[in-house]
Amino acid sequence: MNNIIGINQINNLNDQLKGKKVVLVGGCFDILHIGHITFLNNAKKNGDALIVLLESNQKVRELKGEGRPINIQKDRAEVLSALKSVDFIVLLPQITSNEEYNEIIKKINPNVIATTKGDSSLDYKERTANLVNAEVIEVTDYINEKSTTKLLSLLGNI
């Protein structure tokens, strides 16, 4: 089975994951680097199945600026699907409200929401976790010098 799914396939996913401890992460994952790999591997250690909510191209552009993403969502999903630690990737459409995102979380119903230490959206993740009685776990430090934005800035200096 393909491990890249749309939000309309989440109910089928839940059937496959019955009885498993599900860890959920979200992000852009534009240019995969060691910070991403460390984060995903550490997140997976907290459960049986790791699901990645992959942001839309438009959302990445809003978050990261013009010229981003470098890789379109489909390509980012294919790269993530090759990782041992990632069980499923959910392709997010453009989400315009917290309520839309909350509905997706409720459908997935994870046991754990993994994040990095110092995550600026920690309060939001904790509120989201409370919707489904999940636990928020900080699985790694944020590695600023290994971010995609940092890597791109280094390339700009070549």
The CATH number of residue 120's host domain is: 3.40.50.620
Confirm whether 19 is domain-assigned: no
Report whether pLDDT(158) > 80: no
Confirm whether 141 is domain-assigned: yes
Q: Given this model, what pLDDT does residue 135 score?
A: 98
Count of other CB atoms within 10 angstroms of residue 96: 10
Confirm whether 77 is domain-assigned: yes
Stated pTM of the model: 0.91
Dist CA 41 CA 127 (whole Å): 24
Greatest Cα pair distance in the chain: 50
Report whether pLDDT(157) > 90: no
Residue 117 belongs to domain spanning: 4-10+24-156
Residue of 17 and 142 predicted with greater confidence: 17
Count of other CB atoms within 10 angstroms of residue 10: 18
